[in-house]
Amino acid sequence: MRVLVLTFEFPPFAGGVATYTRTVARGLESLGCRVLLLAPGYPGHESVDRDSPFLTTRMPVGHGEKELWRFFPALTALRRALRQFRPHVALLTSDLAHGVGAIACSLEQTVFVPVIHGSEVVKHFPAPSLKRFVQSAGLRFAYSRAPRLLCVSRFTRDLVVAAGFPEARADVIHNGVAEELLDAPISQSRTDELRSRFGLRGRTVILTLARVVERKGQEQMIEALPAILRHHPDVCYVIAGAGSSRSRLQALVRTRGVREHVVFTGEIPEADKMNLLDLSALYVLPSHSDGERVEGLGISLLEAGARARPLIAGRHGGIPEIITHGTDGLLVDANDPRQLARAVLALLGDPARARALGEGAKRTVSTRFLAGRMARETRAQLEAAVARAHPSQGVG
């Protein structure tokens, strides 16, 4: 089966949609599909594309450009790719890809299937502005015409249904992470190097590895730090990632008097992410909605769980589909720093319980959230979509 994957978020741009898209494209290729991926161009993308097991074509658009300036060049690039590659189906994995992809695929008579993460629906249904109303028209066109809507969580499926789209066409395929994360040995030399690089020797590390934006909740963890430090003065909170909230968070760190206990690493290379997880004592993601974006599932929680990190996360979005409170992590009100501090103190004060939760998180990931399962389920849905659209067409 030939699968064209269209996205507007892809490495070296960091984020959950980018991670998902790369993982599912790799998985489909490993299952024998021929995959062509279309993504925006970014500085340094050549090394990413060189190491990919699938063919990648970069469109003449950037991630930060306005939708209108991306829409028409992307539409032209996609129509050209559809004619040349002649895919059986197109998989559309980001919100702008849904609108562009649905129009291009309809013009070129190609079956398409959107992957919905959650924020697309929250931002556009109902549309809060004229601009969003115009954008929502493209999404409504895509979601109404697609034979299947792939949702990354039950939470996301519920958003889709509440927006007025048929539940019968909305299928849940949870995100998955690479199987290698489960069994790769800890590299003491690499973790030691990271400890030295970021000044973490002798420190108890609490980690958030996510985009540095409001909804990921790093602010709440900073607010919780003074209460934590009264009992554990060796704690260091590591904020790994890049994003628009960094300067605001740095100001908050100064205001709260915790400058010696917070490290901003900036963007972390893919090769270092596992080692950074391995040196952490706890993984915290106090994610919440910012009114426009939600946590459809929480890929970074899956990655941390695969490395047996004890998890503390906000009781929001699709996160409760990963974490069962008290079994493989702790769920808190992400907007309450006092509750967050109590959860952190409970695990720092009880290492045996922390280890048990970490082991529980690893079991959960290994049984329910691996990339191979996600790829197999995605391929089955794509094949079914093609079969419904073209009953006599083979997809070998």
Q: What is the pLDDT of residues 307-334, one digit of tens each?
A: 999 999 999 999 999 999 999 999 999 9
Residues 135, 73 share a domain? yes
Residues 132, 25 share a domain? yes
Among 347, 351, 364, 267, residue whose Cα is nearest residue 307: 364
Residues 120 and 110: their CA atoms lie apart, in Å, by 23
3-state secondary structure of 39: strand
Query: Within 10 A of 351 (CB to CB), how many other CB atoms are there?
Result: 11
User: Contact, 15 vs 42, CB < 8 A?
Assistant: no
Residue 326 belongs to domain with CATH number: 3.40.50.2000
Instruction: List the structure tokens of 138.
Output: 């493209």
Domain that holds residue 108: 2-176+370-389
pLDDT at 14: 87
pLDDT at 396: 58
pLDDT at 390: 75
Exposed / middle / buried, residue 251 (Cβ in 10 Å: 0-12, 13-18, 19+): exposed
Residues 163, 194 share a domain? no
Residues 335, 314 share a domain? yes
Residues 167, 42 share a domain? yes
Residues 211, 130 share a domain? no
Helices (H) and strands (E) in the chain, counts: 16, 13
Instruction: List the structure tokens of 347.
Output: 């695990």
Among 355, 326, 358, residue whose Cα is nearest residue 343: 326
Residue 157 domain-assigned (yes or no): yes
Residues 302, 268 share a domain? yes
Query: Within 10 A of 86 (CB to CB), how many other CB atoms are there?
Result: 11
Residue 394 domain-assigned (yes or no): no
Number of folded domains in the chain? 2
pTM of this prediction exceeds 0.75: yes
* pLDDT tens sequence across 227-283: 999 999 999 999 999 999 999 999 999 999 999 999 999 999 888 999 999 999 999
Residue 98 domain-assigned (yes or no): yes
pLDDT at 133: 87
Residues 362, 351 share a domain? yes
Residue 395 domain-assigned (yes or no): no
Residues 194, 333 share a domain? yes
Any residues with CB less than 8 A from the CB of 223 and at least 6 apart, and which? Answer: 252, 256, 337
Residues 52 and 58: their CA atoms lie apart, in Å, by 13
Residues 347, 200 share a domain? yes
Among 203, 242, 20, 266, residue whose Cα is nearest residue 119: 20
Q: Which residues of the chain have pLDDT under 50?
A: none
Residue 396 domain-assigned (yes or no): no
* Long-range contacts (CB closer than 8 Å, 24 or more residues apart) made by 163-167: 163/121, 163/125, 164/125
Residues 78, 25 share a domain? yes
Residues 120 and 156: their CA atoms lie apart, in Å, by 10
* Long-range contacts (CB closer than 8 Å, 24 or more residues apart) made by 43-51: 43/12, 44/12, 45/11, 45/12, 48/10, 48/11, 48/12
pLDDT at 129: 87
Residues 161, 202 share a domain? no
